[in-house]
Amino acid sequence: MVRKKVVRLFFTVDDNYIPFLSTTIASIVAHASDDYKYRLTIIHDGLSMESKRAVRKFQDNKKIFISFFNVAVKVHALSVKLDVRDYYTITTYYRLFLPDLFPAFSKGLYLDSDIVLLDDVAKLYFTDLGDNLVGAVPDASVQLFSEFSNYVEKVLNVDHTKYFNAGILLMNLKKLREFGLERRFVSLIKKVTFKVAQDQDVLNFLCKDRVTYLDPRWNVMPLGEQIKDPFLVHYNLMFKPWNLKNIMYEEYFFKYAEQAGLKEQILANREAIPQEVTDKILQGVDGVKAFCNQEAEKADEYHEKINGKKKWTPYKTIDQRIRKDEPIFPKLSKERQAVVDKINALERQRKFDVDVENDPPYHHLMPGDVDYLRRKCTSKIKTMWANYYSNYYFKHQIKKGRIVIDGYEGIENLKSVKSGAIITANHFSPFDSVPIHLAVKKYARCKKLFKIIREGNYTMPGLYGYFLRNCNTLPLATNPTVLRDLYKSIGVILKKGHFILIYPEQSMWWNYRKPKPLKQGAFIFASKNNVPIIPTFITMRDTDKTDDSGAFIQAYTLHILKPIYPDEGLSQQENVAFMLKENERQCKEIYEKVYGEELTYLPEEE
């Protein structure tokens, strides 16, 4: 079977633009070839679930694939530095970060959401850029209006015939990373703010002389003379058919709006626009012309600010990076990036129970190696000191900001359990048990929290190994005799009213936010010992600090979900199935509520 080539498309959008993005996607679908796969990534800073559903309906899992990428936290600190006005919003800047947001991709096509395709977008995507940074079409509005041309040449020092429109931007992501687009952009906005076309001015200023100019029919605007047989219509500036009547090429827009099931809604909204608002929109071009003249008079001020030099130094926080002209987004180490790539590959293969990081070399546990119930005097002493020092160690990590806990949700669910119980959790970090330990210690009725761990972790050397051997841990051994001791000990521990933490995903995927399918082990223990499952799910957000691998340190929120009790009317096997399914349901529900998106996994094919 021959693998199909992938066409990677990027959009930036907010909730207000979803009807127009849907129209754009409908036009892409109408001309999509069976020879390619079209992967659409929607960059946003907090779309509603309703908006995501409206867009995702175009996905067919055969040739159209749609995913969402939230950049809210990553650009929060930067947003105060970015100038917005009129029809420009903060989302227009997101295209500048695509090369570093998607380090695995060498090429991508950014498209505005005020366009319709009249031909297969793959023909544009596979244009050879050579060593150039971008491929684009000269901006028709700049060529048409002398005020624009004057501003471009005086302020940006760019030939107005070569000034391109960035609404349709074929990006050589690999070359842009080598060029350091993000770093150069941050350095530039520290010195100066372009106010006419903002991010588009930045791209023209930085990418000058490294542009592949495309066939103008790939970015036709409703300006000047009508062009015959356009490939792509771009309703740029104020010329939006959803705001104004009798816009050139509007018949194409409404054709695909109808295919998207939105024509009547958009027309009704247009009719509801007050006349004074329409008049103001029509006067918009005159306002921009005057603004161009105003800014062109400040050309010398621009040049003086731009020619200043700033030193590029290491960073810790986003604010520090901005001040020191550093890249906004951290660069993952090669080792950590390899882990991320492996996670993506395993997700596509649906191999959710495979670990992505190998255990250090270890020896198999033999009978007598583990005192599961801490009956020996030496075991009790080691456990006492290990718990004391681990509490001190992790409190220090929290104080230093290396472990960040935002808080706990559902404390009442933890307090309600009066017997022994199995706690389940998602597994994404060696430290993900810390918020669970703290919550149980502070709020639970139980006396102790035990944790099931892997055999390789139990025999790990060093400080962590000492903690893992002695802080009330229960290693899963491969030796049958040792394993039987574990099963017996679990029954005793639960009967005494203690809690046992088990990761039923049976794998640790670094900083993986989605809930994975669960294995039966934890639910067999709960059903067999007639104790409840206490499902927990930890959600994460990026902080503005990075760790040694170059990744954002995560802030955790522990969600303690409703306990799941065995049903006396069901058999053990039926109880296992019931509790497992209910655990998965609750985790999926909290994931979708917190992250604002439906739980979906990467498509199986790439």
Task: Please give the tally of structural domains in the chain.
Answer: 2
Specify if 259 maps to a domain.
Answer: yes
Specify if 186 maps to a domain.
Answer: yes
Q: Is the domain of 533 the same as that of 581?
A: yes
Specify if 581 maps to a domain.
Answer: yes
CATH number at 26 reads 3.90.550.10
Q: Are 273 and 243 in contact (CB under 8 A)?
A: yes
DSSP 478-502: SSHHHHHHHHHHHHHHHHTT-EEEE
The pLDDT of 313-335, averaged and rounded, is 58
Specify if 429 maps to a domain.
Answer: yes
Specify if 604 maps to a domain.
Answer: no
Q: Is the domain of 299 the same as that of 398?
A: no
The pLDDT of 248-266, averaged and rounded, is 95
Does 527 score more than 90 pLDDT?
A: yes
How far apart are the C-alpha atoms of 103 and 336, rounded to whole Å? 13
Q: Is the domain of 309 the same as that of 370?
A: no
Report the residue count for the chain.
606
Q: Is the domain of 421 the same as that of 565?
A: yes
CATH number at 470 reads 3.40.1130.10
* The pLDDT of residue 494: 95
The pLDDT of 300-313, averaged and rounded, is 62
Q: Is the domain of 370 the same as that of 300?
A: no
Does 88 score more than 50 pLDDT?
A: no
Q: Is the domain of 307 the same as that of 408?
A: no
Specify if 286 maps to a domain.
Answer: yes
The pLDDT of 428-442, averaged and rounded, is 92
Q: Is the domain of 140 the same as that of 41?
A: yes
Does 121 score more than 70 pLDDT?
A: yes
Q: What is the pLDDT of residues 187-199, one digit of tens each?
A: 777 777 777 777 8
Q: Is the domain of 305 the same as that of 401?
A: no
The pLDDT of 121-145, averaged and rounded, is 93
pLDDT tier, 359 (very low <50, low <70, confident <90, very high otherwise): low
> What is the domain range of residue 112?
5-323
How far apart are the C-alpha atoms of 215 and 545, rounded to whole Å? 44
Domain boundary among 323, 345, 375: 323
Alpha helices in 432-528 (DSSP H): 434-443, 455-458, 462-470, 480-495, 521-528
pLDDT tier, 314 (very low <50, low <70, confident <90, very high otherwise): very low
Specify if 351 maps to a domain.
Answer: no
Specify if 101 maps to a domain.
Answer: yes
* The pLDDT of residue 27: 97
Closest CA to 329 of 179, 176, 509, 186: 186
pTM: 0.68
Q: Is the domain of 520 the same as that of 570?
A: yes
Q: Mean pLDDT, the chain, as a whole number?
A: 86
* The pLDDT of residue 84: 41
* The pLDDT of residue 600: 87
Q: Is the domain of 293 the same as that of 404?
A: no
Does residue 239 or residue 74 have the better pLDDT?
239
Q: Are 326 and 183 in contact (CB under 8 A)?
A: yes
